[in-house]
Amino acid sequence: MRTLPDVMPSSNGTDGVVDLLGARRAKRLDLYRGRVADRVHATRNELVALYQGGNLFTPDGTKQGRSLLKALQLLQRAELHLDELAGAGVIPAPRHPERIDALYGEVDGLFTRCDRLTGRGTASVARLPAR
């Protein structure tokens, strides 16, 4: 009869067990935080370009500037949801999968609304040259 080898305890005090669910959750959280950071950076750059070009003071530029500011507000709300998922606030991180999925669903919805306000999704197609 073959026996399984004993797992040697690691130097950090764990018994050689890896929490795959925790690793997946951490990876998902990092992925979403990266998406938020990228969108915030791009939206701020668009707002700066609008201001520096002087287009912010035209009627169309003002409308676009308001949309960009609203998009930044939505991204801030997404960051708050991600902080809640990380347990960064006073309230501990949610443990029930339904609540976790609901928060990620809300963040996805905020991303969608943000993309509509900033023109992403349609803007990339609109910039393609006509054939």
pLDDT tens sequence across 12-40: 555 678 888 888 989 999 999 999 999 99
Question: What is each CA distance from 56 to 50, 51, 59, 62, 70, in whole angstroms?
Answer: 5, 5, 8, 5, 15
Q: Give 116's contacts (C-beta < 8 A, 6+ positions apart).
A: none
Residue owning tokens 């750059």: 45
Q: What band does 104 get if pLDDT is binned at 50, 70 and 90? A: very high
pTM, entire model: 0.74
Report the C-alpha gap between 57 and 45 in whole angstroms: 17
**In terms of C-beta density within 10 A (0-12 exposed, 13-18 middle, 19 or more buried), how is residue 113 classed?**
middle
